Amino acid sequence: MTQEDKELSLSPENYSLLTDLYQLTMAACYVGEKIDQRQASFELFARRLPPGFGYLIAMGLAQALDYLEKFRFSSEQVDALKSTGIFTNAPNEFWSLLAEAKFTGDVWAVPEGTAIFPNQPLLRIEAPLWQAQLVETYLLNTINYQTLIATKAARMRDIAGNDTKLLEFGTRRAFSPQASIWAARAALAGGMDATSNVLAALKLGRKPSGTMAHALVMAISAVEGSEEDAFKAFQRYFPTAPLLIDTYDTLAATRLLAQRVKQGEMQLSGVRLDSGDLVKLSQEVRVLLPEVTIFASGDIDEWEIARLQRENACIDGYGIGTKLVTGVP
Amino acid sequence: MTQEDKELSLSPENYSLLTDLYQLTMAACYVGEKIDQRQASFELFARRLPPGFGYLIAMGLAQALDYLEKFRFSSEQVDALKSTGIFTNAPNEFWSLLAEAKFTGDVWAVPEGTAIFPNQPLLRIEAPLWQAQLVETYLLNTINYQTLIATKAARMRDIAGNDTKLLEFGTRRAFSPQASIWAARAALAGGMDATSNVLAALKLGRKPSGTMAHALVMAISAVEGSEEDAFKAFQRYFPTAPLLIDTYDTLAATRLLAQRVKQGEMQLSGVRLDSGDLVKLSQEVRVLLPEVTIFASGDIDEWEIARLQRENACIDGYGIGTKLVTGVP
């Protein structure tokens, strides 16, 4: 096994084999029955939406089209398939078909970002039967996931309103590094403002976004003596970055910051709350720090945003991770 | 934007930037405060488990270690970070630290496959503070997801028993191609027998597994005239592959197959049910085809396996997709 195999890393040249076995066995059967070149079509659509969902936002078409353009089988891939022993009785013509494979069909799709509804196709493939069969798995993979994330992001934007900042913080909870990049793409396309994923932001030509973690407060205050030292230290290098204020005692931290701001000893643009009663805490922070942007994080989703709004929380922005990137409806 | 960026494909050399922005800003702050080289430690553990879960199966350590071995920043990556403008006030020493970065810490972890419980660490990092901070995001990413999937797979194995076949069919529903590969790895490690993902199986040195889809029955019967023609056609090339029997009328298909088997006109090793009342249908198929392996699929998870067992379904194996790879508890 090569090092690349050990890492299970993927390059787009691998993707033709990123398919369910039955797509290949069925294609071999079509070749044997001499119907592999018949024109076929299939459509991707959702039969029904999760409870409370009114629409889906179509996403993932760019990656789908890249895949179709690159659709080839190398001789190594063909040999690897042969070596499984599964295709012993498959017709010989199947192997020559794979060796010369490219996607020659047509793709009809709604543009990425289109709102669609149950039973309405996102994408339609018209292609020789064997091709339509083989590409199905990958197309579902890219379009299912990105559509799910773009939809969740759009729902959060709908409920949060246009003036609320929505930051994608899900990388650590995403389902693999590649999923974190695709989630960032779909979340930004679905209406979120920024991602904390540095690599995703750079690849997408965006500026990454973030605050600070409890670890910094604990590390600096352990050495320099207090939470305030941690705030000062972070502001020394990142003067406009929001401060995380719930490490020890949220209200004590808020009062201290309010005093420093009032005395002109500190500029403060934002704070983040990551625990506790977000309604009550955010209201109290607003009174003490009326000019400061208040971010909230911690298992936020569109339902939680709606609840916080109903209960008059004073929150200007959300950092959203787990409930976005794991696609929980 | 290069073609690689357009595809959002990833190579392990990218992974050092697959981190939350705040890990980098905090690291810069540690450098400025001259505490970046202090020894630090952190542990990954779960505070609590999803309802009904009694354990987690630790997984993802192999990818975590590969990442730590490769942890470097290229000059292009450093330049890309500088160009964001976020680090204008960061100390200069931060850039030289990144340029020479490698992971010099220690890793303590339970072996992959270990059952662990709430508040029990899966992994402990001891390293200079700035390194421990930077690597946290990636380590969570790989270990969270693979642990989730291995745990779900182990729960299904626990409930299904050792004699039931469990096949991973989730690629089309997985959260990106890389997630599908990691899901296959974790599912096999967690106790499932095989994956339908051809690329994952080949990378993992396993034989891929599958049956056939409704598309084949519809395509062949449209041309050759009947569902039976489709069964015969598929068996011509894959004589031991299970047949999917619920495309039109499950019991009619079963009766026809039973007759062909009885008359010695057909060998039949397995059938798959993908819809309908799985309890009733599987019992009726068992009576008609007593020697044949019965597979079931369609939103199966450990709870559904338990229900089917309680209600005396006659099912020898399951194809499991959505509820496994999307990690639904």
Numbered ranges of CATH 3.20.140.10 in chain B:
3-144
CATH 3.20.140.10 for domain A3-146, yes or no, is yes
Q: What is the mean pLDDT of residues A206-227?
A: 95
pLDDT digits (tens, 9 = 90+) for A256-296: 999 999 999 999 999 999 999 999 999 999 999 999 999 99
Residues from chain B that touch A1, judged by Cβ atoms under 8 A, are 205
B223 touching chain A per CB within 8 A = yes
Neighbours of A269 (CB within 10 A): 13
Question: Comparing C-alpha atoms, which of B19, B49, B5, B261 is closest to residue B141?
Answer: B19
* pLDDT of res. B248: 97
pLDDT digits (tens, 9 = 90+) for B265-319: 999 999 999 999 999 999 999 999 999 999 999 999 999 999 999 999 999 999 9
Q: How many residues does chain A have?
A: 329
pLDDT digits (tens, 9 = 90+) for B146-179: 999 999 999 999 999 999 999 999 999 999 999 9
Question: Comparing C-alpha atoms, which of A27, A103, A42, A26 is closest to residue A67?
Answer: A103
**8 Å CB contact of A11 and B15:** no
Task: Return left, alpha or beta for A305; rule: phi > 0 is left, psi -120 to 50 is alpha, else beta.
Answer: alpha
Task: Indicate if the pLDDT at residue A321 is higher than 80.
Answer: yes
* pLDDT of res. A11: 83
Residues from chain B that touch A241, judged by Cβ atoms under 8 A, are 25
When scoring B97, B129, B180, B323 by the number of chain A Cβ atoms within 10 A, the one with the most, hence best to mutate, is: B180
* Residue B262 Cα distances to A169, B249, B254, B256, angstroms: 60, 20, 12, 10
Please check whether residue B131 is in contact with residue B41, taking contact to mean a CB–CB distance below 8 angstroms. no
**Nearest chain B alpha carbon to A325:** B175
* pLDDT of res. A6: 55
**8 Å CB contact of A197 and B20:** yes
pLDDT digits (tens, 9 = 90+) for B113-153: 999 999 999 999 999 999 999 999 999 999 999 999 999 99
* pLDDT of res. B1: 40
**Separation CA B317–CA B270 (nearest Å):** 10
Residues from chain B that touch A32, judged by Cβ atoms under 8 A, are 233, 236-237
**8 Å CB contact of A136 and B172:** yes
Q: In which element (H, E) is residue A65 found?
A: helix A61-70
CATH 3.40.630.70 for domain B3-144, yes or no, is no
B231 touching chain A per CB within 8 A = no
A147 touching chain B per CB within 8 A = no
End-to-end Cα distance, chain A: 39
Q: Spelled out in words, what is the top-level CATH class assigned to the domain A154-325?
A: alpha beta
Q: Of chain B residues 9-68, which have a CB less than 8 A from chain A?
A: 9-12, 14-15, 17-26, 28-30, 32-33, 35, 38, 40, 42, 62-63, 66
Residues B152, B156, B162, B165, CA torsion sign? negative
Residues A263, A268, A269, A273, CA torsion sign? negative
**8 Å CB contact of B29 and A238:** yes
Q: What is the mean pLDDT of residues A106-131?
A: 98
**Nearest chain A alpha carbon to B141:** A172
Neighbours of B163 (CB within 10 A): 7
pLDDT digits (tens, 9 = 90+) for B33-51: 999 999 999 999 999 999 9
Neighbours of B115 (CB within 10 A): 13
**8 Å CB contact of A140 and B199:** no
**8 Å CB contact of B90 and A224:** no
Q: What is the mean pLDDT of residues B204-230?
A: 95
* pLDDT of res. A21: 98
Question: Which of B33, B62, B140 has its CB closest to that of A220?
Answer: B33
The residues near A186 (Cβ < 8 Å, ≥ 6 apart) are A59, A60, A145, A146, A147, A148, A149, A150, A153
**pLDDT tier for residue A7 given thresholds of 50, 70 and 90:** low
Q: Of chain A residues 179-218, which have a CB less than 8 A from chain B?
A: 179-183, 185, 196-203, 205, 207-213, 215-216
B220 touching chain A per CB within 8 A = yes
Residues A266, A268, A274, A279, CA torsion sign? positive
**pLDDT tier for residue B101 given thresholds of 50, 70 and 90:** very high
A306 touching chain B per CB within 8 A = no
ipTM above 0.90, yes or no: yes
**pLDDT tier for residue A1 given thresholds of 50, 70 and 90:** very low
Phi, psi of A60 (to 5 degrees): 105, 0
Q: What token pair was written down for B191?
A: 């106790």
Numbered ranges of CATH 3.20.140.10 in chain A:
3-146
**pLDDT tier for residue A327 given thresholds of 50, 70 and 90:** confident
**Separation CA A152–CA A146 (nearest Å):** 10
Numbered ranges of CATH 3.20.20.70 in chain B:
154-325
